[in-house]
Structure 1
Amino acid sequence: MEELNRVALIGIMIENKESVGKINDILHTYANYIIGRMGIPYQKRNISIISVAIDAPNDIINTISGKLGALDGVSSKTIYSKYSD
Structure 2
Amino acid sequence: MHRVETRVALLGIIIENKDSIEKINSLLHEYREYIIGRMGIPYEKRKISVISIALDAPTDIVSALSGKIGRLPGVSTKAVYSKV
- TM-score, normalising length from structure 2? 0.96
3-state SS, counterpart of residue 64 of structure 2: helix
2:8 paired with 1:7 = yes
Aligned 1:66-81 pairs, distance under 5 A:
66-81=67-82
3-state SS, counterpart of residue 82 of structure 1: coil
> In 1, distance between residues paired with 2:34 and 2:65?
10
Query: Gaps (5+ residues) in structure 2?
Result: none
> In 1, distance between residues paired with 2:28 and 2:19?
16
Q: How many residues align?
A: 83
CA-atom RMSD in angstroms: 0.9
Query: Gaps (5+ residues) in structure 1?
Result: none
> In 2, distance between residues paired with 1:2 and 1:60?
15
Q: Match of 1:39?
A: 40
Q: CA deviation at 1:51?
A: 0.1
Aligned residues with identical type, % of pairs = 61
> In 1, distance between residues paired with 2:71 and 2:3?
28
Q: CA deviation at 1:3?
A: 3.3
| Matching residue's letter, 2:10 | L
Structure in which a larger fraction of residues adopt strand: 1
Cα deviation, 1:52-77, whole Å, max 9, x if unaligned, reads: 00000011000000000000000000
